[in-house]
Structure 1
Amino acid sequence: MTDIVCKVSKIEALTPFVQRIILTPEKPVSFKAGQYIRVAMSETDRRPFSIANGPQDSDFIELHIGATEQNPYAWEVLKHLEAQDKCIIDGPHGNAFWRQDSDKPIILLAGGTGYSYTSSLLNAMLATPGKQPLFLYWGTRTEEDMYHLAELQALAAKHSRFNFVPVIETPSENWSGKSGLVHEAIMQDFTSLEPYQVYVAGRFEMAGKAREDFSEKGLVKEHLFGDAFEFI
């Protein structure tokens, strides 16, 4: 494991509870879409966060950190980065990276800030020539939590093979899109998942339920990817 010294180049609010962090490593970091790094709080305390940018942008590392004082695990990392000009990370880590040798259509499933994982995948996939259909289902609690809504709608308008489906758990009266649980929206929209690759990021409870329900829809377990499945 090699430590990488990074400059903390930017911290900006995406929502009141989600921060976008830009780290500039001393030298470019080679990684695969869908991998993560760990921020070193100490020699023995290293905390994982998905890389949000695609590997074609190897001169920086983008993180999306959802942090409140009620979530000290992430909050402490945010405070650590805010207080430092530089930080130490290690990586890349993770086996839930994009399998580029497959031509299967792809479904990306993100819950909350799990979007950062799918953001890296999406960036890489749209930067690579391909014809297979690509779907992103992103679920958040409210419309305000969906911090890249306009950008993703613009990408879907630009790329004919990309379909973006936002799902709001507790929508306002003005919301006209899908509502409820994000993995259930996929269950409603697809007759069979057998032909697909599926990449999942979000709370372990959501990932576990998605794995169970998607299997009943025909998804082959070898075609399901997500860091959560290393632990559940």
Structure 2
Amino acid sequence: MDVLIQPLQKIIQVEPGANLLDALRQAQVPMSYSCMAGRCGTCRCRVVDGDVLDSGGAQQNPLDGRDAYVLACQTFLTEPCTIEIPEPDEVVVHPARIVKATVQAVETLTHDIKRVVLKPAKPIEFSPGQYAQLQFTPEHVRPYSMAGLANDETLEFHVRVVPGGRVSGYIANALNPGDAVRVSGPLGTAYLRRRHEGPVLCVAGGTGLAPILSILRGAIANGLSNPTHLYVGARSPRDVYGLDWLEEIERRHRAFKLHVVVTAGGDPREHRAGLVTEAIEQDMGRLDGWRAYLCGSPPMVEAATVLARRKGIDAARIHADAFYTQPT
């Protein structure tokens, strides 16, 4: 049967019941993938027309309930259909790995944010902006975003300590240098797109700064000089962190502009007051042709996504990573 692949406008022949990712690979259609088990989300694509059998459960785009998103590795083709794959020129293939690592440092960044530095026994490949599953003990497992780059000697993570949080509490109170950690990944689709030549909007709330730092560091390492605006949102001045790192990025990236916005309690001479979405609304006109990376709490990410769409950023160029709190 025929399956039309957009935007390549390529028709591939497949047998009924074939796995979509296997069919794409056999037809030499460029497609990102990693874990092959439906966990990482890297092979996400859209069913434009026709029906498929999705063993992982169809994912609905929160901005358009009509669009059914599926994971190619978990999707089986049962009839002729049309599949839209994302950006065939930005394919990343990082085979999922489980790597042993040793805690090198646990540092305090703010009153409720810790920086965890791990020394992996073997390198782990990932794209800037992706995350990994960290297992500290069998009972303490949680995904966290890398803040550095794959060629760094260490892995860096930023952890917000949640009141009553089982994993973050363990990290804050029991984790010590020398402890063993199992790192699984990489995971996630909100990674740096290196071929984009237009302006970039980055929005980071809380420890959402970690993957944004990775993306910005990756852009500099790849020689990218796109005009880039970063809006950092925090609840209060004491929640702002990473300014030294961001000032270093400003020194190395001439087209980078930093905006720090605090919800309450800030000195107007030092911090802008309000919400990051309000600041973007005030500062920015139309954003057609831009690309956006949005990382932080689900309400912030959702509001920033809606704003970015309304200002003209194409949905396919909005890469979001919402951090869900797990209190137990």
TM-score (norm 1): 0.89
Among residues 272, 284, 290, which one is paired with 1:196 in the alignment?
A: 290
| 1:32 equivalent in alignment to 2:127 | yes
Q: Aligned equivalents of 1:153 and 1:83: distance in 2?
A: 28
Residues 141-152 of structure 1: pairs in structure 2 closer than 5 A? 141-152=235-246
* Bigger shift: residues 42-51 or 16-25: 42-51
1:125-178: per-residue Cα shift (whole Å, max 9, x none)? 122212321121111112222111243234324432111111111133364332
Percent same amino acid among aligned pairs? 29
| Contact in 1 for aligned 2:225/2:253 (Cα 8 Å) | no
Structure of higher RCO (CA pairs closer than 8 Å, 6+ residues apart): 1
User: 1:94 maps to which residue?
Assistant: 188
Count residues with an aligned counterpart: 229
* Gap runs ≥5 in structure 2: 1-95, 324-328
AA matched with 1:101: R
| Contact in 1 for aligned 2:100/2:183 (Cα 8 Å) | yes
1:175-200: per-residue Cα shift (whole Å, max 9, x none)? 43321111221121110121210001
User: 1:50 maps to which residue?
Assistant: 145
Q: Aligned equivalents of 1:131 and 1:55: distance in 2?
A: 20
Q: Aligned equivalents of 2:161 and 2:270: distance in 1?
A: 28
> Structure 1 pair 72/175, CA: closer, same or farther in 2 (3 Å)?
farther
Tell me which structure has the larger Cα radius of gyration: 2
Among residues 316, 320, 324, which one is paired with 1:222 in the alignment?
A: 316
* Bigger shift: residues 41-50 or 119-128: 41-50
* Gap runs ≥5 in structure 1: none
Among residues 61, 64, 67, which one is paired with 2:158 in the alignment?
A: 64
| Contact in 1 for aligned 2:129/2:215 (Cα 8 Å) | yes
Instruction: Kindly state the Cα deviation for residue 80 of structure 1 after the two structures are TM-superposed.
Output: 5.4
| Contact in 2 for aligned 1:81/1:87 (Cα 8 Å) | no
Instruction: Kindly state the Cα deviation for residue 76 of structure 1 after the two structures are TM-superposed.
Output: 3.3
Among residues 156, 162, 168, which one is paired with 1:74 in the alignment?
A: 168
TM-score (norm 2): 0.64
* Bigger shift: residues 156-165 or 92-101: 156-165
Instruction: Kindly state the Cα deviation for residue 21 of structure 1 after the two structures are TM-superposed.
Output: 0.7
> Structure 1 pair 55/2, CA: closer, same or farther in 2 (3 Å)?
closer
> Structure 1 pair 37/80, CA: closer, same or farther in 2 (3 Å)?
farther
User: 1:23 maps to which residue?
Assistant: 118
Higher percent of residues as helix:
1
AA matched with 2:296: G
Residues 109-124 of structure 1: pairs in structure 2 closer than 5 A? 109-124=203-218
User: 1:208 maps to which residue?
Assistant: 302
